[in-house]
Amino acid sequence: MTDNNDDGIGKKLGVTPMNSPLDQQSSNAVSTILDSAVNDSVSEDFEYSRGNIRNLIDEGNDAIFKLSQIAEQSQNPRAYEVLSDLINTMLKANQDLMELQKKAKELNKKTGDTTYVDKRTQSIFVGSTAELAKIVNKKED
Q: Report pLDDT digits (tens) over 114-123.
A: 555 555 666 6
Q: What are phi and psi of 96, to 5 degrees?
A: -60, -40
Size of the chain, expressed as the number of residues it contains = 141
**More confident position, 124 or 83:** 83
Angle at CA of residue 51, ends 46 and 57, nearest 5°? 125
Give the list of residues 6+ apart from residue 92 with CB closer than 8 angstroms, or none: none
Number of domains in the chain: 2
50-69 pLDDT, tens digit each: 888 888 888 888 989 999 99
Looking at the structure, tell me whether residues 56 and 29 fall in a common domain: no
User: Residue 69 is part of which domain span?
Assistant: 44-116
Instruction: Report the chain's mean pLDDT, rounded to a whole number.
Output: 74
CA–CA dist 112, 105 (Å, integer): 10
What CATH number is given to the structural domain containing 49?
Answer: 1.10.287
Q: Is residue 38 part of a domain?
A: no
Say if CB 64 and CB 90 are below 8 A apart. Answer: yes
| Long-range CB contact pairs, 102-107, < 8 A, 24+ | 104/46, 107/42
- Collect all residues with Cβ–Cβ distance below 8 Å to 43 and sequence separation of at least 6: 115, 116
Measuring CA to CA, which residue among 62, 83, 59, 63 is closest to residue 71? 83
Q: What is the pLDDT of residue 104?
A: 80
pLDDT of residue 72: 92
